[in-house]
Structure formats: structure tokens, C-alpha cells
């Protein structure tokens, strides 16, 4: 019973904190709205006074009598017609309502993103869900963008630990490594490990561009005879192989100055924008391009 109680208390605390943040946010927006309304009212009143002043000056300039000898006019004749005032106020009201609609849409969008990020955080809690199958991207554009950033930056920040875990040689090593290994698990699964340490005498930008544009083929993630499918997301690669296997990966590119570039790749298991029923597997790749000496480019992946 104790673990369940702790979980319930944690959810209640998180919900209360979220509600408190939302209340503060809406109070602040209401305060800003009231201040804007008061400011608009002041501007309208000043506009009325200015127009009345112009009207008085125009009346004085058209009369034949000197201003000091001009007979007093009825005060009502110097006031603006209500139709003019009403038209001005109507225009301001329409502008205010349009602004309010825009703010309301932004609030709805922000609430949707917050909900998606709460779901995303719960799905990507590595302490509770060690499996790769929690890799999820939502359809909402803002939530999708944040999800991609979280996945790729998390991989990038852990690249040194990954290279160390798989015993990559240092950049200064002249050793040429290109290995493929199958590792079987007790649950009748297997992992294909690809490890390479290669040196090239080519411009770094050419190697970076080739690695970015043809990543699926270069890393043998899909049919090597076909090109990556062109989709509307430049940081995604998508293919369905002739064997019916789906390759749906997010690509992150990180530059460390002009001397190093890192690509990270992760298979997305649950993609709300591209649902499918094909077979898929976990794909996690780190590819680092570094300038070592002169024109020597070291590629580790």
C-alpha cells in the first residue's frame, strides 16, 4: 500500500502545482487586459478632446467676427457627433476583441503543450521505463518540436559515455576499426552492434553533408539501394523496407565549433503523425566527425 500512496501523493502534488501555476498565469493575463482597457479608454478620451479642440479652432477660423467679439455658441454645437465617437469606439472594440481571440488561442495552445509535455515526461522516465519502446512523438507541432529536442540532446550529452562504454579508440589512434557483432539476450532478442573508427582525407563539410542527407543508407538502417524518403520534416528519416520493416528515426545534428560535428539517431516507436502497423526495431546511433590533424577527418560511429 505504501508505494501506491506515494504515487498518489506525487500525482496530487504535481496537479496542485500545475493548477497554481495556471491560476497565477490567468490572473496576470487578466491584470494585463484590465490595464490595456484603461489605457485604451484614456487614449479615446484624449482623442475626443483633441478633435473637439480642432473643431473649435476650425469654427473660429471660418467666422468673420474676431474671436474676442464672437458671440458665445451653444456648448452642444462644439461637441463631436455621437456617430463619430461611436465609430471610433467600435473600431477599438473590434481590435480589442481580435486581440483577445489571439490571446485565447495562445492560451489553448500552451495548455495543450503542457499536457503533452506531462505525458512525454511520464513516458520517458528512464527510471521507470528502461525499454526503448517509450520513444514517442506527438502530432502537435510545438510538442513534437520539444520532444525531438529532448531525445536528441539527451543522446548528444551522453555521447562520451557511449563511446567509452563500447571501447572506441582515441581520435589520435591510427587503428582502423570496422566491426559488426550480434549479441543475443536471454529473452530471445538480439542486438546488432556496429562500431567503426575510420580516417578520411576529405573536406569535413562534404562528409557532414553526405552523412546528414543519406544517413539511413550509410548506417545500414534500411535498404542501401534506396534513398531516404522525402518528408515534410528535415530532422526525420522515414522508410518502409521491402521486407515490411519501418524505419522512422529522428536525427539531431550538433556542431562543436568548426572542428567537430555529431549526428545522433533514434527510432521513434510511437509517432502520432505517422501511425503504422509495420515491424520495427530499436535503433540508436551516435556518429561523430572530427578534424584531428591537417586534412585528416576521423569518423566514429
How many residues are present in the chain?
301
Query: Does residue 161 share a domain with residue 116?
Result: no
Last residue of a domain, one of 123, 143, 167: 123
Last residue of a domain, one of 105, 123, 141: 123
Q: How many domains are contained in the chain?
A: 2
Cβ-count burial 262-282 (b if 16+ within 10 Å, e if not): bbbbbbbbebebeeeeeebee
State the CATH number of the domain containing residue 227.
3.30.530
Query: Does residue 161 share a domain with residue 114?
Result: no
Query: Does residue 77 share a domain with residue 181?
Result: no
pTM: 0.58
Query: Does residue 27 share a domain with residue 118?
Result: yes
Query: Does residue 240 share a domain with residue 173?
Result: yes
User: Residue 181 domain-assigned?
Assistant: yes
Structural domain of 244: 154-300
Kindly list the distances between the CA atom of residue 251 and the CA atoms of 39, 200, 211, 237, 254, in Å, as whole numbers in the listed order: 48, 23, 11, 7, 10
User: Residue 148 domain-assigned?
Assistant: no
Set of cell numbers at residue 293: 590533424
Last residue of a domain, one of 68, 100, 123: 123
pLDDT tens sequence for the chain (301 residues)? 444 444 555 556 777 777 777 777 777 877 777 777 777 777 777 777 777 777 777 776 655 445 555 554 555 555 778 888 888 888 888 888 888 888 888 888 888 778 777 777 766 555 444 444 467 888 888 888 888 988 899 899 999 999 999 999 988 888 888 888 888 888 778 888 889 998 888 888 888 888 887 776 666 565 544 444 556 677 888 888 888 888 888 999 999 888 899 999 999 988 988 888 998 888 888 999 998 777 788 889 8
Query: Does residue 203 share a domain with residue 98?
Result: no
Query: Does residue 64 share a domain with residue 168?
Result: no
Check if the beta carbon of residue 186 is closer than 8 Å to that of residue 175. Answer: no
Query: Does residue 168 share a domain with residue 112?
Result: no
User: Residue 134 domain-assigned?
Assistant: no
Query: Does residue 293 share a domain with residue 163?
Result: yes
Query: Does residue 176 share a domain with residue 104?
Result: no
Nearest CA among 41, 31, 78, 76 for reference residue 59: 78
User: Residue 132 domain-assigned?
Assistant: no
| CA gap 17, 10 in Å, rounded | 11
Given the C-alpha cell 490595464, which residue does it identify?
35
Amino acid at each position: 500500500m505504501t508505494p501506491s500512496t506515494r504515487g498518489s501523493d506525487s500525482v496530487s502534488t504535481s496537479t496542485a502545482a500545475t493548477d497554481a501555476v495556471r491560476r497565477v498565469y490567468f490572473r496576470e493575463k487578466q491584470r494585463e487586459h484590465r490595464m490595456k482597457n484603461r489605457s485604451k479608454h484614456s487614449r479615446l478620451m484624449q482623442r475626443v478632446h483633441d478633435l473637439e479642440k480642432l473643431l473649435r479652432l476650425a469654427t473660429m477660423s471660418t467666422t468673420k467676427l474676431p474671436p474676442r467679439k464672437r458671440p458665445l455658441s451653444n456648448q452642444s454645437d462644439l461637441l463631436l457627433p455621437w456617430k463619430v465617437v461611436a465609430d471610433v469606439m467600435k473600431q477599438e472594440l473590434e481590435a480589442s476583441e481580435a486581440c483577445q481571440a489571439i490571446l485565447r488561442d495562445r492560451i489553448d495552445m500552451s495548455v495543450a503543450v503542457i499536457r503533452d509535455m506531462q505525458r512525454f515526461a511520464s513516458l520517458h522516465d528512464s527510471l521507470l521505463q528502461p525499454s526503448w519502446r517509450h520513444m514517442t512523438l506527438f502530432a502537435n507541432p510545438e510538442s513534437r518540436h520539444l520532444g525531438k529536442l529532448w531525445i536528441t540532446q539527451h543522446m548528444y550529452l551522453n555521447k562520451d559515455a557511449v563511446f567509452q562504454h563500447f571501447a572506441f579508440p582515441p581520435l589520435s589512434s591510427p587503428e582502423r576499426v570496422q566491426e559488426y557483432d550480434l549479441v543475443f539476450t536471454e529473452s530471445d532478442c538480439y542486438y546488432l552492434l556496429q562500431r567503426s573508427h575510420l580516417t578520411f582525407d576529405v573536406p569535413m563539410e562534404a562528409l557532414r553533408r553526405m552523412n546528414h542527407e543519406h544517413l539511413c543508407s550509410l548506417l545500414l538502417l534500411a535498404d542501401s539501394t534506396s534513398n531516404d524518403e522525402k518528408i515534410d520534416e528535415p530532422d526525420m528519416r522515414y522508410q518502409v523496407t521491402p521486407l515490411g520493416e519501418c524505419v522512422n528515426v529522428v536525427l539531431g545534428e550538433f556542431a562543436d565549433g568548426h572542428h567537430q560535428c555529431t549526428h545522433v539517431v533514434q527510432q521513434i516507436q510511437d509517432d502520432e503523425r505517422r501511425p503504422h502497423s509495420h515491424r520495427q526495431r530499436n535503433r540508436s546511433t551516435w556518429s561523430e566527425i572530427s578534424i584531428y590533424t591537417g586534412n585528416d577527418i576521423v569518423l566514429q560511429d
